């Protein structure tokens, strides 16, 4: 660490270009890999997208520390937001994807505002407080990334009609699997992997046991009565009420295949429901799902801020130790870091 006194400005054009290229390339890789994941449902693309997004966050945290002029920062952030649009240029077909353009505009806003706030903290600190600045920058960077991820999903699936059935099934099955513990509070033996027939039977048995007395003449206590009556009679009663439940559900969502799994039936029902919607309704539904995706990912991403900040700090320390960057003092009073 050098304590020589330098003016706080940008010195090395080559290093600035290197930082710019690393930031822009990581941003383009993040967008490309995530888009390929949406189209193919191959999780290798998602993994590479997460790695690229992490690099994007780290580079922009470092940009706040090492790049001094906001005009240079603005130029780099602008290219970070505009560059990935080139990946979609061939697919626009003359139609302007306003949602996609808006998403990248939001990304630009959050990245630049995050860096600007971090630089403000550094400017008003006597000592370089890495984590104090990073904790302000990271949430904005991640918010911008999650916004563009949600908008890309909306554009691909709703505006461009590139819905990936395989991924849609995985998401639907996952939601059902996560909801099972809640369903078990009322229906202990149901599962998404059951056939529709078995599912309706389990729901019917649980409902019968909660029927008021004398729902079935001659059986005042159904819960006790079901256990005591002959198997044939018991199954006849269950089949009767199960059939009524099936008719009620079919009246709302269409025909059910009793041999299909619950997972398959729910997905097919949702597919039929969406196919019957108008374009405006599909757009509104897609926007609602994009918002749900954003808030779901945001809740998960918060858990990893510390990791992103830690990686950025290690890279920061390595660059100083390797003399790629230097620490100096302004008027022997305020500490700052720069690229010599």
Contact at 8 Å (CB) between 113 and 136?
no
What proportion of the chain, given as a percentage, has pLDDT over 70?
86
Q: Residue 293's pLDDT is what?
A: 81
Contact 103, 152 (CB under 8 A): yes
Give the Cα separation of 96 and 89 in Å (integer): 10
Global pTM reads: 0.76
Please state the φ and ψ torsions of residue 156, each to the nearest 5 degrees.
-65, -45
* C-alpha closest to that of 146 among 324, 296, 15, 306: 296
Give the pLDDT confidence score for residue 309 in this predicted structure. 95
- Per-residue pLDDT of 131-176, as tens digits, reads 999 999 999 999 999 999 999 999 988 888 888 888 888 888 888 8
Residue 18 neighbours by CB under 8 Å, 6+ apart: none
Give 279-323 as a DSSP string: HHHHHHHHHHHHHHHHHHHHHHHGGGHHHHHHHHHHHHHHHHHTT
Residues of the chain with pLDDT under 70: 1-11, 94, 209-229, 327-340
Q: Alpha helices of 165-278 — where are they, by DSSP H?
A: 165-183, 196-208, 222-228, 231-253, 262-275
7-58 pLDDT, tens digit per residue, is 555 567 888 899 899 999 999 999 999 999 999 989 999 999 999 999 999 9
For residue 90, count CB atoms less than 10 angstroms from its CB and return exposed for 0-12, middle for 13-18, buried for 19 or more.
exposed
pLDDT at 2: 44
């Amino acid at each position: 660490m050098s304590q020589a006194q330098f003016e706080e400005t940008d010195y090395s054009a080559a290093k600035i270009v290197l930082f710019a290229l690393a930031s822009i390339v990581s941003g383009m890789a993040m967008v490309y890999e995530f888009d390929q994941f949406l189209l193919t449902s191959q999780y290798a693309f998602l993994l590479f997208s997460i790695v690229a997004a992490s690099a994007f966050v780290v580079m922009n945290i470092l940009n706040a520390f090492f790049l001094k002029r906001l005009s240079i920062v603005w130029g780099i952030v602008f290219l970070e937001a505009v560059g990935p649009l080139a990946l979609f240029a061939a697919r626009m077909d003359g139609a302007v994807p306003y949602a996609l353009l808006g998403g990248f505009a939001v990304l630009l806003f959050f990245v630049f505002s995050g860096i600007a706030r971090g630089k403000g903290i550094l400017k008003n600190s006597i000592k370089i407080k890495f984590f104090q600045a990073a904790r302000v920058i990271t949430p904005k960077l991640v918010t911008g990334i999650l916004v563009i991820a949600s908008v890309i999903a909306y554009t691909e699936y709703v505006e461009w009609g590139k819905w990936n059935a395989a991924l849609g099934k995985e998401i639907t099955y996952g939601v059902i699997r996560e909801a099972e513990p809640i369903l078990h509070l009322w229906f202990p033996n149901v599962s998404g992997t059951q056939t529709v027939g078995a599912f309706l039977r389990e729901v019917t048995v649980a409902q019968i046991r909660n029927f008021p007395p004398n729902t079935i003449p001659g059986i005042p206590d159904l819960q006790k009565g079901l256990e005591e009556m002959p198997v044939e009679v018991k199954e006849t009663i269950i089949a009767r009420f199960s059939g009524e439940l099936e008719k009620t559900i079919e009246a709302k969502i269409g025909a059910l295949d009793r041999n299909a799994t619950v997972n398959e039936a729910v997905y097919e029902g949702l597919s039929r429901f969406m196919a019957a919607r108008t374009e405006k309704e599909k757009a509104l539904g897609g926007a609602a799902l994009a918002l749900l995706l954003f808030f779901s990912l945001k809740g998960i991403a918060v858990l990893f801020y510390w990791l992103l900040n830690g990686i950025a700090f290690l890279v920061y320390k390595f660059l100083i130790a390797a003399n790629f960057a230097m620490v100096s003092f302004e008027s022997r009073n305020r500490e700052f870091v720069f690229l010599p």
